[in-house]
Amino acid sequence: MLDIKFVRENPEIVKENIRRKFQDQKLPMVDEVIELDRQNRAAITEASELRASRNSLSKQIGMLMGQAKKDPSKLEEAEKVKAQVKANAERLAELEKLEEDCAARIRTLMLSIPNIIDPSVPIGPDDTHNVEVQRFGEPKVPDYEIPYHTAIMESFDGVDMDAAGRVSGSGFYYLKGDIARLHSAVLAYARDFMINKGFTYYIPPFMIHGNVVEGVMSQTDMDAMMYKIEGEDLYLIGTSEHSMIGKFIDQIIPEESLPQTLTSYSPCFRKEKGSHGIEERGVYRIHQFEKQEMIVVCKPEDSMDWYEKMWALSVELFRSMDIPVRQLECCSGDLADLKVKSCDIEAWSPRQQKYFEVCSCSNLGDAQSRRLRMRVKGADGKMYLPHTLNNTVVAPPRMLIAFLENHLQADGSVTIPEVLWPYMGGTKVLVPKK
């Protein structure tokens, strides 16, 4: 969410940013916000003047009533002043209602106006205009067939989609045996990887209040992603970023505690509406999964440096497991409204002979801080808004697709990279059961 003062003083910059994000339907919102802001400020000024006059008029009534004991004509004068006080009170009530209505409408509009994107963001309407920046590791295509990922899992008796369908419906799964152990091993390794990088490990709440949801994401994303608990002001989180950033709501953060570098584990729940192609079925696009996340809260001047560090950590993690990846810069039309800049880390799929998303790193500037009323008290005593960033460390089971495809051998076995041996009880190779 932008600062209303910035919108008031820079309407054309805000409108041009909307055009660059290909959201022209939102252009009228800028003029509406500015007009509502004008009305609101005028109402506040008039209301302040009426409140200031209320005390002097009350004193005047008291004085006139006292004088009326000796001069009855003062009584009539006092009644006129009383009438003025009543009229002022009625007008003040109107102004207070106007202030309330204007503030509510302004907030609704401001929540929909996108954040100002970084000048380095490529311009394009959708993800087909995202730009490859660099590759890490050599993508290889073996001379033997790579089966569909659920077929690989089934060869280890490691997945049961049918039972999950009976229990929960489509978009769910059972993992078992070696595949379930591999899933847990990757998460445990990712947790320790981030702790060793100096991040503080958290297990956060998996449900959050509606005002926190509004603070951490756009209304569009909320409607598309979040599951609401019936009869409760609680939502299941779509990522632990939601509850981790939410923990700072209405808080004043000591400047000396910055940067706060946090890594959190959670299950994640997402609606994932719409139809998807065959390669996004199986355990690729699902309603429930687990994830290790990284979150940074920092000074504004440090956020771009942290952005670069964070996506690089994802690359390092995946390369340590011998999975080729690439960095893809997200274009303007592919950025969620709160994001200043974002990139995806994509893993190589030997089966599809292309890359697919496994991590997403985002700098949200001060958008979440403003929505959640997070503040930092500087050394000079002044308050300012910190910047927030988030990035996926690892999100199996999608990550398992890349892992299994890149480590599958011609005989159907799957090699385990050295970094995972301690988490797999020393197992170095998974041997298929079917």
* Alpha carbons 362 and 399: distance in angstroms, whole number: 19
Mean pLDDT (whole number) for 104-124 = 96
**Among candidate residues 388, 379, 294, the one with its CA nearest the CA of residue 341:** 388
pLDDT at position 279 over 60: no
The percent of residues above 70 in pLDDT, for the chain, comes to: 91
Mean pLDDT (whole number) for 257-286 = 79
pLDDT at position 85 over 90: no
Distance between alpha carbon 109 and the CA centroid of its chain, in Å? 18
**Confidence category of residue 434, pLDDT binned at 50, 70, 90:** confident
pLDDT at position 55 over 70: no
CATH topology of domain 4-112: Helix Hairpins (1.10.287)
DSSP string, 310-343: HHHHHHHHHHHTT--EEEEEPPGGGS-TT-SEEE
Predicted TM-score (pTM) above 0.85: yes
Buried b (16+ CB within 10 A) or exposed e, 10-48: beeebbebbebbbbeebeebbeebbebbebbeebbebbe
**Confidence category of residue 127, pLDDT binned at 50, 70, 90:** very high
What is the pLDDT at residue 88? 79
Looking at per-residue confidence, does 346 or 218 come out higher? 346
CA end-to-end distance (rounded Å), the chain: 54
CATH topology of domain 127-430: BirA Bifunctional Protein; domain 2 (3.30.930)
pLDDT at position 280 over 70: no
pLDDT at position 92 over 70: yes
- Contact between residue 308 and residue 315 where contact means Cβ atoms under 8 Å apart: no
Side by side, the strands of the sheet bearing 252-254 are 252-254, 375-377, 383-384
Rg (CA), the chain: 29
**Confidence category of residue 97, pLDDT binned at 50, 70, 90:** very high
Name which of 59-63, 142-146, 225-229 the model is least confident about. Answer: 59-63
Mean pLDDT (whole number) for 162-189 = 94
Mean pLDDT (whole number) for 376-383 = 93
Looking at per-residue confidence, does 82 or 165 come out higher? 165
- Contact between residue 424 and residue 181 where contact means Cβ atoms under 8 Å apart: yes
Mean pLDDT (whole number) for 345-361 = 96
pLDDT at position 275 over 50: no
Alpha carbon separation from 105 to 108, 220, 258 (Å, rounded)? 5, 17, 34
Mean pLDDT (whole number) for 271-279 = 56
pLDDT at position 66 over 80: no
Looking at per-residue confidence, does 236 or 285 come out higher? 236
The mean pLDDT value of the chain amounts to 92
pLDDT (tens digit, 9 = 90+) per residue, 201-236?
Answer: 999 999 999 999 999 998 777 778 899 999 999 999
What is the pLDDT at residue 76? 62
3-state secondary structure of 142: coil
What is the pLDDT at residue 277? 47
Mean pLDDT (whole number) for 171-197 = 96
Q: How many residues does the structure list for the chain?
A: 434
Cβ atoms within 10 A of the Cβ of 301, count?
8
What is the pLDDT at residue 283? 81
pLDDT at position 103 over 90: yes
**Confidence category of residue 107, pLDDT binned at 50, 70, 90:** very high
Where in the chain are the domains? 4-112, 127-430
pLDDT at position 69 over 60: no
**Confidence category of residue 276, pLDDT binned at 50, 70, 90:** very low
* Alpha carbons 158 and 178: distance in angstroms, whole number: 6
**Confidence category of residue 89, pLDDT binned at 50, 70, 90:** confident
